[in-house]
């Protein structure tokens, strides 16, 4: 099975490569904007394809080279908070690279299965009347990133409906793990707790709304779900992927407190508040305690 991963050098991409490498007959190629040591340590040099997918010729060339059976489309500008200041850039980039990929696939590998990694962020401001949240809950986007992901999903659906492209949309809820940037809640908290333990930081952490509820999965569970989806989901459909469990931010902090000897004061800072997501879906095996503990240990082991 020939597999191409776009955004292969990113946080989730590297985990997905490791997951796919568990099957020895998988021939894995990674498309990256620019090669890094992370990806070079995972794939042979001639399986790493550099280039900017917002250039159609790059998408064409990658697909000509690899002729993949399966494409995991992870490439995207993906930080929600940033997307307000860079709205046009986030929306155009995520739209254009997805369009180029779907169009090049239609021309070069029309039978390839495309796992279109969208986002549960599209639900945004969920109405009470829409709960429990399912795949048919309306889109209520709260940020430009969310709009870009709706657009990406709709483009994939259009290619399925118009050309019969074998596109499956996945809508992952929050997922985290070692390697995710500290723009995201749990790695940031892990970094801060580790720094407080080492005496490098005053024992006060500022945080947005403690009551906002999010569904956190471990990235290792998430990539397992992506591979299962590629094996069994239906083209033209969209699937939520989450732990099915909502955690308040305050509960996340409780887990950190239970894993750390440090006495940490939590201050609520209003301008960090952002709206909440809510769970649905599948079968995780890694507890949030375990996820947080692993990330915390990672930051404890950092020098400095």
Q: Which residues does the annotation mark as catalytic?
A: 145
Stretch that binds a second copy, among 8-16, 155-163, 188-196, 292-300 (CB under 8 A): 155-163
Interface with a second copy, residue 79, by CB under 8 A:
no
β partners of residue 176: 218
Residue from 142, 235, 268, 273 touching a second copy (CB under 8 A): that is: 142
150 lines the binding site for a second copy (CB under 8 A)? yes
- The residue among 50 and 103 lying less far from a second copy, judged by its C-beta, is 103
Separation between Cα atoms, residue 22 and residue 8, nearest integer Å: 16
As measured in angstroms, the least distance from the Cβ of 279 to a second copy is 20
96 binds a second copy (CB under 8 A): yes
Which stretch, 85-93, 216-224, 260-268, 284-292, contacts a second copy (CB under 8 A)?
85-93
The residue from 51, 141, 208, 244 that contacts a second copy (CB under 8 A) is 141
Q: Can residue 124 be called a binding residue for a second copy (CB under 8 A)?
A: yes
Cβ distance to a second copy smaller for residue 154 or 259: 154
Choose which of 3, 104, 112, 157 interacts with a second copy (CB under 8 A): 157
Q: Is 237 in the site for a second copy (CB under 8 A)?
A: no
Under rule CB under 8 A, residue 228 binds a second copy = no
> Of 11, 33, 99, 282, which one interacts with a second copy (CB under 8 A)?
99
Q: Does 234 bind a second copy (CB under 8 A)?
A: no
95 is an interface residue for a second copy by CB under 8 A:
yes
Instruction: Please report, to the nearest 10 degrees, the dihedral formed by the alpha carbons of residues 175, 177, 182, 186 taken in order.
Output: 70
Burial 192-217 (b: 16+ CB within 10 A, else e): bbbbbbeeebeeebebbbeebbbbbb
SS (H, E, C) the chain: CEEEEECCCCHHHHHHHHHHCCCCCCEEEEEECCCCHHHHCCCCHHHEEECCCCCHHHHHHHHHHHCCCEEEECCCCCCCHHHHCCHHHHHHHHHHHHHHHHHHHHHHCCCCEEEEECCHHHHCCCCHHHCCCCCCCCCCCCCHHHHHHHHHHHHHHHHHHHHCCEEEEEEECEEECCCCCCCCHHHHHHHHHHHHHCCCCCCEEEECCCCCEECEEEHHHHHHHHHHHHHHCCCCCEEEECCCCCEEHHHHHHHHHHHCCCCCEEEECHHHCCCCCCCCCCCCCCCHHHHHHHHHHHHHCCCC
273 lies in the site for a second copy, by CB under 8 A:
no
Q: What is the CA radius of gyration of the chain?
A: 19
Q: Which stretch, 30-38, 66-74, 143-151, 293-301, contacts a second copy (CB under 8 A)?
A: 143-151
Q: Which of 74, 114, 147, 195 is close enough to bind a second copy by CB under 8 A?
A: 147
Work out which of 60, 103, 197, 294 binds a second copy, going by CB under 8 A.
103
Q: Is 230 among the residues that bind a second copy (CB under 8 A)?
A: no
**How many amino acids of this chain bind a second copy (CB under 8 A)?**
28
Contact (Cβ atoms closer than 8 angstroms) between residue 56 and residue 104: yes
Closer of 141 and 208 to a second copy (Cβ)? 141
Q: Binding of a second copy at residue 140 (CB under 8 A)?
A: yes
Binding site for a second copy (CB under 8 A): 87-88, 91-92, 95-96, 99, 103, 124-125, 136, 138-144, 146-147, 150-151, 154-155, 157-158, 161-162
């Amino acid at each position: 099975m020939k597999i191409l991963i776009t955004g292969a050098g990113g946080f989730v991409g590297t985990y997905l490569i490791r997951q796919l490498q568990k099957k020895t007959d998988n021939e894995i190629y990674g498309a990256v904007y620019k090669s890094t040591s992370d990806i070079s340590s995972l794939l042979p040099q001639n399986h790493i394809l550099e280039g900017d997918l917002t250039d159609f010729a790059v998408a064409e060339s990658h697909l000509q080279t690899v002729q993949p059976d399966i494409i995991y489309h992870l490439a995207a500008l993906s930080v929600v908070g940033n997307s307000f200041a860079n709205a046009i850039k986030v929306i155009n980039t995520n739209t254009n690279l997805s369009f180029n990929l779907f169009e090049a696939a239609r021309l070069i590998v029309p039978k390839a299965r495309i796992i279109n990694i969208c986002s549960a962020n599209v639900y945004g401001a969920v109405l009470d009347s829409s709960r429990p949240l399912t795949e048919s809950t309306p889109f209520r986007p709260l940020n430009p990133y969310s709009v870009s992901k709706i657009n990406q999903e709709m483009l994939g659906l259009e290619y399925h409906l118009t050309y019969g492209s074998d596109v499956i949309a996945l809508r992952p809820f929050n997922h985290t793990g070692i390697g995710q940037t500290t723009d995201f809640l749990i790695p940031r908290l892990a970094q801060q707790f580790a720094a407080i333990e080492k005496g490098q930081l005053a024992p006060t952490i500022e945080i947005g709304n403690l009551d906002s509820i999010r569904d956190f999965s471990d990235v290792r569970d998430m990539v397992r779900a992506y591979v299962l989806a590629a094996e069994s989901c239906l083209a033209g459909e969209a699937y939520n992927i989450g732990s099915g469990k909502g955690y308040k931010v305050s509960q996340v902090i409780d887990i950190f407190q239970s894993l750390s000897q440090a006495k940490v004061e939590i201050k609520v800072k209003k301008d960090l508040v952002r709206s909440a997501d809510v769970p649905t879906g599948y079968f995780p095996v890694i507890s949030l305690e375990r996820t947080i503990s692993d990330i915390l240990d990672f930051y404890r082991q950092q020098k400095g």
